[in-house]
Amino acid sequence: MFRLILRRLAVSVAVLWLVSLLVFVATLLLPGDPARAILGQQATPERIAALNEQLGLDAPVWQRYLDWLGGVLTGDLGTSAASQGPVTELLGGRIGASLVLLVGAAVISTAGGLALGTWSALRRGRAVDHTVSGISLVVAALPEFVIGVALIVVLSTTVLPVFPSVTLAPPGEPVWSQPIQLVLPILTLTLVVTPYITRMMRATMSEVLDSGYVEMARLKGLPERVVITRHAVPHAIGPVAQVIAIQLAWLAGGVVVVEFLFRYPGIGQALIDAVNNRDVAVVQAITLLIAGVYIVVNLIADIVGIMTNPKLRAEVSR
């Protein structure tokens, strides 16, 4: 198991390095001149040249990449061209605000998806099963911005004006100081992710319930609760862990659209602002951060999938 984790970790590091290279190249291809975007169209060539020198944009591309990569490895993400401050300070509070959304949506969607999928599988062919499957299929087909707009219409503006449609955190206060502002963004992310987990858990649980070892456990006279919790669910969690990982990794990127929709002050809104301002250092930092979250979540899912699957554990131990 330890050797397997080391191999997966080595592959993850290599993938993250490739992502850093792609991110750096992609930011070079962004249209426009960062210095001119900061100083404005009326800036003189002398001022633009001075700012390019200050930001290190006049150095060769390979040197800029190595300097940036070395800074990332030492925790220095560079200087924001727009604010002229360290990127780490700019993103510090925003990362915390986005984590609130991600953790809240991840916990609710994972628990809800597993519970709904199990409940639906235990009632296969009944009205409850058809209702859960139909609703999850419809919701899974909707993009996140459609779900967000629908929630704003229903719960914020027209039908039931209960929750605020935008995030208005007072200056100097964390966004979670007013929890009511978090309801719609977290609910949007939850509704986007939960249907996939529910459908996968329902399919896997149905297969497990028809397996021989579950039938044997029932023939031994074990209570149905013990059969479900100790024999069926652990075997179903392994395959579902991969789907959960993909969905939770999607949250790291999907939060960009949701934060823009609700004007939420997280990394998603910061990424959009940085692209508009041609703030290359911020774009690179946020994109690399999202890629890192995606890789780490998938690595954890691989480990969980192996630990919860007896067949995979046996293969690893050989």
Nearest to 298 by CA among 107, 3, 21, 12: 12
**What pLDDT score was predicted for residue 315?**
56
Average pLDDT of the residues in 70-89: 78
Query: Model-level pTM?
Result: 0.79
Q: Does the structure show a pLDDT above 70 at 65?
A: yes
How confident is the model over 200-221, as pLDDT tens digits? 888 888 888 888 877 888 888 7
How confident is the model over 30-52, as pLDDT tens digits? 666 666 666 666 777 777 777 77
Average pLDDT of the residues in 61-70: 80
End-to-end Cα distance, the chain = 10
What's at 169, amino acid-wise? Answer: A
What CATH topology corresponds to 94-317?
A: MetI-like fold (1.10.3720)
Q: Name the β-bridge partners of 79.
A: 86
When pLDDT is cut at 50, 70 and 90, the band that residue 308 belongs to is low
- The rounded mean pLDDT for the chain is 81
Average pLDDT of the residues in 150-168: 84
Q: Which stretch of 55-59, 104-108, 172-176 has the lowest confidence by average pLDDT?
A: 55-59
Which phi and psi (to 5°) does residue 220 adopt? -75, -5
In the chain, what are the domain boundaries?
A: 94-317
Q: Residue 249 in contact with residue 294, Cβ under 8 Å? A: yes
How confident is the model over 1-17, as pLDDT tens digits? 677 778 878 888 888 88
Q: In a 3-state reduction of DSSP, which class is residue 220?
A: coil
Q: Which stretch of 87-96, 103-112, 188-197 has the lowest confidence by average pLDDT?
A: 87-96
Nearest to 144 by CA among 247, 248, 254: 254
Site of tokens 């001149």? 33
CA angle 76–81–83, rounded 5-degree value: 90
Q: Does the structure show a pLDDT above 70 at 316?
A: no
**What pLDDT score was predicted for residue 5?**
74
**What pLDDT score was predicted for residue 177?**
79
